[in-house]
Structure 1
Amino acid sequence: MNDALLALLEQLDLERIEQDIFRGTSRPSVVPRVFGGQVAAQALVAAGRTVPEDRPPHSLHAYFLRPGDPGAPIVYTVDRIRDGRSFTTRRVVAVQHGQPIFHLSASFQVYEEGMEHQEPMPYAPDPLTLPTAAEMLPRYADRFREPGVAQRLLEARAAVDLRYVDAPPFGSVGEPRDPRSQVWFRTNGKLDGAIDQPLLHICLVTYVSDMTLLDSVLLAHGRGGWAVGDVVGASLDHAMWFHRPFRADDWLLYDQESPTAQGGRGLGKGRIFTADGQLVASVIQEGVIRVPRG
């Protein structure tokens, strides 16, 4: 594991300060607020700590209410909504400075056999044939709105090996494209020993799921995003469904598209596949995406 992944794992190992109350800290972000994937992953950790280990999460639904302060701890309060024979439901509120900044509902299920089918995995090149972030980002340094953005991106994403199949939004500014994007990702190191737990793998994928999902909205309009300075935005809500077991330290394909944008908001849909073609998660997110005036 690299140092960034170790630091991320430490932040996901929340401090329990009461039976159903936990406290977490924040990682450096490329914008002056807490990264949404971090607070979602930490909230899911908090919920999972109150559920038996034989019930992994199968879905989450969340709202980002206020920007988080990266310099202050976040307190997560868990409500035990329901404990059924097959399903368990938890609600989590994340609080900073006395105000809720994030709300999550998560459902957990005991494994059971049932009908199975899935969409086929779309084509994507082998991830090892694609450039790493360290190889790709310097190519676009002259397009970023200020010096140092490429380095900040590298540092913020250093816990994850994330590789774009095609040029990212900031690599094709002014050139509208099909509103689809793909990235391969895995953690920058293998998870083993005491930390190799199904809940942790799910929380790590939740963390990554917020990194690139709205890229396809930007691609449709030839916009580069916050790094270029031609839009401002933030996540509004986020939903995930976990279909099959997976490992966050194995390659996963994140296939993303945007069916619509309107009213200062854009919608992103994603499917996450294992390298052997298993559909393991589905994601939907809406975000504020505004074009600056003047």
Structure 2
Amino acid sequence: MSSKSTSLEKILELTRVSATRFVTTALPAAPVGSRGTFGGTLVAQSLLASLHTVPVDFVPTSLHCYFVSGGDPSRKIFYEVQDLRHGKNFIHKHVRAYQSKRLVFTSAILYAREKKDHDSLHFLKTIKSSELPKPEKFKDAAELFKSQVVENGNLERYGHLQAGFKEPSYAERFISSFHHSPIEYRFPQDMFYSHHPTDLLEKYARIRDPVTVKKTHDHDPSRTITPENDHRYNYVAFAYLSDSYFLLTVPYFHQLPMYSHKFSVSLDHCIHFHQLPRVNDWIYLQVRNPRSYWDKHVLQGEYFNGQSGEIIASVSQEGLVVYDSEEEIKAKF
């Protein structure tokens, strides 16, 4: 990684306060163009906190999260993990995130003991290799942003939609983020402004920082879970990735330019894990927008291993995103 890059481990690092209470080591940064804490940070840190409270042979199978109020990037976040049920094969956890006394986020997480014997029924949705588009078919996100948003007079047009784009440094922050964030993207050519009716967005993403896939056998409950010592950190990294350029893609399905929203906030976030998400491999995403109604938009994504074509996770999110009318947006642009 570049020296300008911030490692995912540093972004998500937690300090243990007690057996079930944790606090962020770093301040929870806001994404470029946003004032609130990045939702992926909250989802991932809640999962990481709860991982410290379960045995090493348990893995997350699903998360159901709610964004209660906007996170303040200038304040640290405290996570409290509650044990709802601790069974032989399943563990239910509830995690609350606070800033001072204000509840900002909550998640319910289901863990299952990793099976060592064969399943009676075994099926994973798989895309045939002949039907799986290669990452090379897609464009580097930073280069695509420069060509489609910054160059050829486009930056002035985007300035009509978002005031921030009137300042050249604003666009540079996006480019720097694409270059140096923990996530590497490959987008379709029309990612930032699609003119064609479609119900499917395809793209690729992966985590830049190395994350081990070697299973841990260290049962010390006081140890700190890191990308180097626990394969389950892949789930944490995926949770972070799953909220990036997800809700933001709503305009793609309505033939509108990206960044044309007036207001945007995530309401909930749900992940079902189907197998270990090897986050250093290219992950192929299929995203759909089944409903946009009363300013509430639902995105559903299926995530596949870019090599095997096997499904690794399903994600859904609802957000409150306010736009002008399509006619007004196109007239401004």
TM-score of the aligned structures, taking structure 2 as reference length = 0.80
Of the three residues 104, 108, 113, the one matched with 1:105 is 108
Task: State the distance in 2 between where 1:152 and 1:102 align.
Answer: 27
Are 2:71 and 1:49 aligned? no
Q: Which residue is equivalent to 1:243?
A: 274
Runs (5+) with no aligned partner, structure 2: 160-164, 215-225, 329-333
CA RMSD of aligned residues (A): 2.2
Secondary structure in 2 aligned to 1:195?
Answer: coil
How far residue 214 of structure 1 moved from its aligned partner, in angstroms, is: 2.6
Are 2:155 and 1:153 aligned? no
Of the three residues 322, 325, 333, the one matched with 1:290 is 322
Structure 1 residues 149-158 or 67-76, which shifts more? 149-158
Q: Which amino acid aligns with 1:82?
A: R
Are 2:300 and 1:280 aligned? no
TM-score of the aligned structures, taking structure 1 as reference length = 0.90
Q: Which residue is equivalent to 1:29?
A: 31
Structure 1 residues 199-208 or 125-134, which shifts more? 125-134
Deviations 1:200-250 (A, max 9, x none): 11111111111122355322222334x3x4442111101001011231111
Task: State the distance in 1 between where 2:89 and 2:78 align.
Answer: 29
Q: Which residue is equivalent to 1:162?
A: 185
Q: Which amino acid aligns with 2:272?
A: W
Q: Which amino acid aligns with 2:311?
A: L
Q: Which residue is equivalent to 1:116?
A: 122
- Equivalent pair of 2:21/2:78 in contact (CA under 8 Å): yes
Task: State the distance in 2 between where 1:92 and 1:16 align.
Answer: 14
Secondary structure in 1 aligned to 2:297?
Answer: strand
How far residue 130 of structure 1 moved from its aligned partner, in angstroms, is: 2.7
- Equivalent pair of 1:180/1:219 in contact (CA under 8 Å): no
Q: Provide runs of 4+ in structure 1 moved above 6 Å.
A: none
Matched residue count: 289
Structure number with greater Rg is 2
1:126–1:67 distance in 2 versus 1, CA, 3 Å: same
Q: Which residue is equivalent to 1:11?
A: 11
- Equivalent pair of 1:56/1:108 in contact (CA under 8 Å): yes
Q: Which amino acid aligns with 2:187?
A: Y
- Equivalent pair of 2:37/2:72 in contact (CA under 8 Å): yes
How far residue 117 of structure 1 moved from its aligned partner, in angstroms, is: 1.7
Q: Which residue is equivalent to 2:245?
A: 212
How far residue 48 of structure 1 moved from its aligned partner, in angstroms, is: 0.8
Q: Which amino acid aligns with 2:125?
A: E
- Equivalent pair of 1:45/1:199 in contact (CA under 8 Å): no
- Equivalent pair of 2:261/2:321 in contact (CA under 8 Å): no
- Equivalent pair of 2:193/2:255 in contact (CA under 8 Å): no
Of the three residues 40, 52, 66, the one matched with 2:43 is 40
Task: State the distance in 1 between where 2:146 and 2:133 align.
Answer: 22
1:149–1:257 distance in 2 versus 1, CA, 3 Å: farther
How far residue 278 of structure 1 moved from its aligned partner, in angstroms, is: 1.0
Q: Which residue is equivalent to 1:181?
A: 201
Q: Which amino acid aligns with 1:280?
A: I
Of the three residues 132, 136, 159, the one matched with 2:144 is 136
Secondary structure in 2 aligned to 1:144?
Answer: helix
1:200–1:2 distance in 2 versus 1, CA, 3 Å: farther
Q: Which amino acid aligns with 1:92?
A: V
Task: State the distance in 2 between where 1:290 and 1:255 align.
Answer: 24
Deviations 1:149-188 (A, max 9, x none): 43323344521111113422x333xx36313212211112
Residues 244-283 of structure 1 mapped to structure 2, 5 A cutoff: 244-275=275-306, 276-283=308-315
- Equivalent pair of 1:235/1:285 in contact (CA under 8 Å): yes
Secondary structure in 2 aligned to 1:233?
Answer: strand
Residues 55-134 of structure 1 mapped to structure 2, 5 A cutoff: 55-112=58-115, 113-114=118-119, 115-121=121-127, 123-134=131-142
Q: Which amino acid aligns with 2:305?
A: T
1:269–1:164 distance in 2 versus 1, CA, 3 Å: same
Percent of residue pairs bearing the same amino acid type: 26
- Equivalent pair of 2:234/2:276 in contact (CA under 8 Å): no
Secondary structure in 1 aligned to 2:238?
Answer: helix
Task: State the distance in 1 between where 2:239 and 2:112 align.
Answer: 17
